[in-house]
Structure 1
């Protein structure tokens, strides 16, 4: 087999698309989470430099992303409701404008107050950009929503990999770090311009987003919420997402665990995190192909059983290098869950994907991170991780077993809300 044949074999198969959806719509949709990951990663990595320059305390530094989170808890549920009744190009375009301006403000901020304004603006724009794009992509590929979402997740993983490279090159070449934020924020504004000149599809079953809603605004929203909350398929996949959020809790303190419990240096932690992201990319590449050959039940069942096997070994096997060896397959199978669960939740209620996203966003009101931190203080990070993740994955296993075998189902019950 020559190189040309190998490249042809590796080339991904096209994802079946709804009639009338243009290449431009799909490409702009796929870039949304890429820009979100890129622009959120840059200030996060540059925070030590920003802190030293502005003389920030730990309290001030920690408050910055907390501001973003608080704003997002308000904006994202409202945005989800608007997705199903408003023009999507404006949600996407305004989201891109806000995150672009936010990062530019962070880049020029001479004081903590102006820096906080940048993080505030980011909280306004991130959800409308990322979550609206999720809905557009899933509804544009109704025959294979998890495949397009796997590709979207792959592209946003690339976006997450770029900030460390950009920051390293900027400091190596002794370039001004502020220009890195300003230039990339400007690219987001250019991206917003392309979005605002594009006609995006409207909700499933409706015409493109130039149309006005048939019902009065608040009646339409109320009807959509009731439809989602009475849709058993949507609730089934939302339960999946809630359990997935629980399994993700230990990752918020994983770097501390690798340092304190495993004894990794900052360099080794960086290497491990980079390796995990690279493995995620490979996993998503294979997931796209496996979804063409296997049922979601088969993929999720295999991933869940292997994670339940690997997780205790990874946590309790002593030494640094076993964490690398076991972390490769563990990261690979952990990457299987999010694209399938998120895509199927959005596909579970045709025409109401935005409302499903709004309900999902309300999970952010639960103080899960705080409760996990309290538990870790009481029993230690290793014990807290196993006490949180093991029951959550066992519950995920029970839900997976309820999925029909064979063909690609959207949930245990084939029903929709409209």
Structure 2
């Protein structure tokens, strides 16, 4: 019997995001272990974080657009099966090339399995994009907290990083089975009458036109900038704690849990806050605070001070993605797949950042390379100031 909406379907979709963030946050926490066992360089790590994303960004837009006009559930389930297979390959990887192949499979599988699940959640309540994105992101933050803890526990128990990802593959298979029982909805297909379905080429042309709209383009740019202080920081913080701050591998994993735990508190607090405070006002205040705190994190001489500041950063930046992605969905009403497709196109640029950081760290050291991430709060403050000016001009 199909799972009923709303409670069961909501929990199923949030479980997809929870699993996704557990997997990727565990990977970031496990980098010191993976690097040591497979003898990887910073440049190779940068390639592992960049090349799969770049290739995936070429595949993701068609997948997302198909999610608006074709069998979205089939795309989600197919992505889930490949997601499981990629985790199995990751766990068995004997070296750099096999690891690279696992990530090349994992990234587009994630786009179909996770991103289209997010689109389905957005389509369930078009008037509450930001609020539902806050719930989605809260589930992700729970996963971000749990992933490093799983890695730290595996280290303490002597299980190793391979057993962690093998276990994730088994859990992912269970989640895919639950999604298979769920009833998903694609609004554009449901609303069309027989014979009125938009040609798929027309959907692509409409997406290109949307990219040219200033309101859509602005949110895409701000999403990429904000990600410097979110996923990009998350990718390198464990290595930073171990290689620059002098912490142990377990401390590197636990530092991610501290950052993510603070972010979880911030994200959970954001859900009621967004019912009372304008989302863009929250973004401006938190971006200014991050502009002050991130340099303090980098220059603090003591590891405990660094970790304290890192926790504050996680608390303050937790809602950036939810607010910005929700604004993008609202700028494209009824076209959640198109919003995902345009985000994937923008990610082609953003996916180059880990490679650039890895190269910079190889030449000048990771401590110097991390200063690049300060572009996130600076860019948000500039972009949001222009958004305010644009609204003032329109009102005038």
TM bracket (short chain): 0.7 to 0.9
Q: How much does 1:390 deviate?
A: 4.0
Candidates 335, 340, 345, aligned match of 1:362: 345
Aligned pair count reads 385
Q: Which residue of 1 aligns with 2:22?
A: 38
Q: How much does 1:338 deviate?
A: 1.4
1:24 paired with 2:8, answer yes
Tell me if the contact between 1:39 and 1:184 (Cα under 8 Å) persists in the aligned partners: yes
More helix by share: 2
Q: Which residue of 2 aligns with 1:236?
A: 218
Candidates 134, 145, 160, aligned match of 2:129: 145
Candidates 166, 178, 197, aligned match of 2:181: 197
Q: How much does 1:207 deviate?
A: 1.7
Tell me if the contact between 2:226 and 2:321 (Cα under 8 Å) persists in the aligned partners: yes
State the SS of the aligned residue for 2:126. coil
State the SS of the aligned residue for 2:307. helix
Q: Distance in 2 between matches of 1:85 and 1:64?
A: 33
Change over 3 Å in CA distance of 1:271–1:120 after alignment to 2: closer
**Residues 177-221 of structure 1, C-alpha deviations (whole Å, 9 max, x = no match):** 766544532332232233233321213x65279989712222232
Q: Distance in 1 between matches of 2:233 and 2:95?
A: 33
Change over 3 Å in CA distance of 1:264–1:412 after alignment to 2: farther
Q: How much does 1:282 deviate?
A: 0.3
**Residues 252-311 of structure 1, C-alpha deviations (whole Å, 9 max, x = no match):** 433444345434343443332221111011000111111011001221121112112222
Q: Distance in 2 between matches of 1:164 and 1:232?
A: 39
How high is the TM-score relative to the length of structure 2? 0.81
How high is the TM-score relative to the length of structure 1? 0.77
Instruction: Report 1:93-132 matches (<5 A).
Output: 93-107=77-91, 117-132=101-116
Tell me if the contact between 1:33 and 1:152 (Cα under 8 Å) persists in the aligned partners: yes
Q: Which residue of 2 aligns with 1:188?
A: 172
Q: Distance in 2 between matches of 1:200 and 1:368?
A: 34
**Residues 290-335 of structure 1, C-alpha deviations (whole Å, 9 max, x = no match):** 1011001221121112112222333334333322333332221121
Q: Distance in 1 between matches of 2:162 and 2:193?
A: 39
Tell me if the contact between 1:297 and 1:403 (Cα under 8 Å) persists in the aligned partners: no
1:73 paired with 2:68, answer no
Give the CA RMSD over aligned residues: 3.7
Structure 1 unmatched ranges of 5 or more: 1-19, 406-410
Q: How much does 1:84 deviate?
A: 1.7
Q: Distance in 1 between matches of 2:104 and 2:118?
A: 22
Structure scoring higher RCO (CA < 8 A, sep ≥ 6) equals: 2
Change over 3 Å in CA distance of 1:263–1:75 after alignment to 2: same
State the SS of the aligned residue for 1:294. coil
Q: How much does 1:42 deviate?
A: 5.3
Change over 3 Å in CA distance of 1:376–1:165 after alignment to 2: closer
Q: Distance in 1 between matches of 2:248 and 2:146?
A: 22
Q: Distance in 1 between matches of 2:341 and 2:159?
A: 41
Q: How much does 1:133 deviate?
A: 1.7
Structure 2 unmatched ranges of 5 or more: none
Instruction: Report 1:162-181 matches (<5 A).
Output: 162-167=146-151, 169=153, 181=165
Q: Which residue of 1 aligns with 2:258?
A: 275
